[in-house]
Amino acid sequence: MNLEHYFDGRPRRDDGVWFEPRVAPMIFRRIDARTAELHQPTTPHFGVESWTRLGVGVPHRVDMHFRCVLHKEALCGGFLGVFWASYIHEPEDKSIYFLQPGSRPGAPRWAQLCTQKHGQASSVRHEAESLELSFEEPGDLLYANLSALRYSSPFFYGRWRDRVLIYIFRPGPVVRFAHSLCGGGPTAAGDDTNPAWDFQLLLPACVPSQTYELVMRLVFKPWVGRADVLEEVGKYLGQAA
């Protein structure tokens, strides 16, 4: 749940703007024994104010409620993207997994994504998404390069050792998954790379002073099998995956 950067249709910049959420000041507030909030006042370049509330309830699970407000009007392309990154330490399997279109309760159809090169076919859209976003210089940007794969249910998972990491999103906002085989940098031995398992929130017609939200759950638990993954998804979404 590393809030890494904001983006619109402009090219990437390497002067600190690219990782603005990381470098702009944040305020930590403890809500109660199980809940904390990070408030980031309006950032200098994109002009985004945000609140990230994290709650730990039952074992293995962290719930996140993210809210943001745009305080500037100048967005290239009229949209705002919010990008979160997760760097995974030396997993045996770098892939992420999700359900393909055509899946239904009792008959899942699984898709596997492990990009062959950073920034190639890296972002996965929902089966119903029809957004056409334009980027001035897409280059190898993960969010600007689309996979032919689509997902049908708002979750994905990856394996680490004997555990599973599951990202589950409340339906509603435009969410894309993203993958990089090397986004986490080289391994300690220098003989391989660490992947990035990422996600992004897209606000296609972002209006200043309006609040936008993303609500999700992160699950990290022993790997039991895909049926257990679907059970975790169903518990959170309140319906069969």
- Digit-coded pLDDT (tens) for 104-113: 878 899 999 9
Residue 225 has pLDDT above 70, yes or no: yes
- What's the mean per-residue pLDDT of the chain? 94
Domain that residue 212 falls in: 2-237
Strands 123-126 and 146-151: parallel
Residue 66 has pLDDT above 90, yes or no: yes
DSSP state letter for 227: H
Residue 48 has pLDDT above 50, yes or no: yes
Among 15-24, 62-71, 106-115, 183-192, where is mean pLDDT lowest? 15-24
List 217's β-bridge partners, or say none: 63, 168
Any idea what the CATH number is for the domain that residue 167 is in?
2.70.98
Query: What are the backbone angles phi and psi of residue 154, rounded to the nearest 5°?
Result: -75, 65
Q: Quote the number of domains for the chain.
A: 1
Q: What angle do CA 111, 156, 57 make, to 5 degrees?
A: 160
Residue 85 has pLDDT above 90, yes or no: yes
pLDDT of residue 239: 53
User: 17 falls in which pLDDT band (50, 70, 90)?
Assistant: confident
| Edge-to-edge order in the sheet of strand 48-56 | 27-32, 35-40, 48-56, 61-70, 211-222, 163-169, 155-160, 96-99, 110-113
Higher model confidence: residue 95 or residue 119? 95
pLDDT of residue 233: 96
pLDDT of residue 13: 74
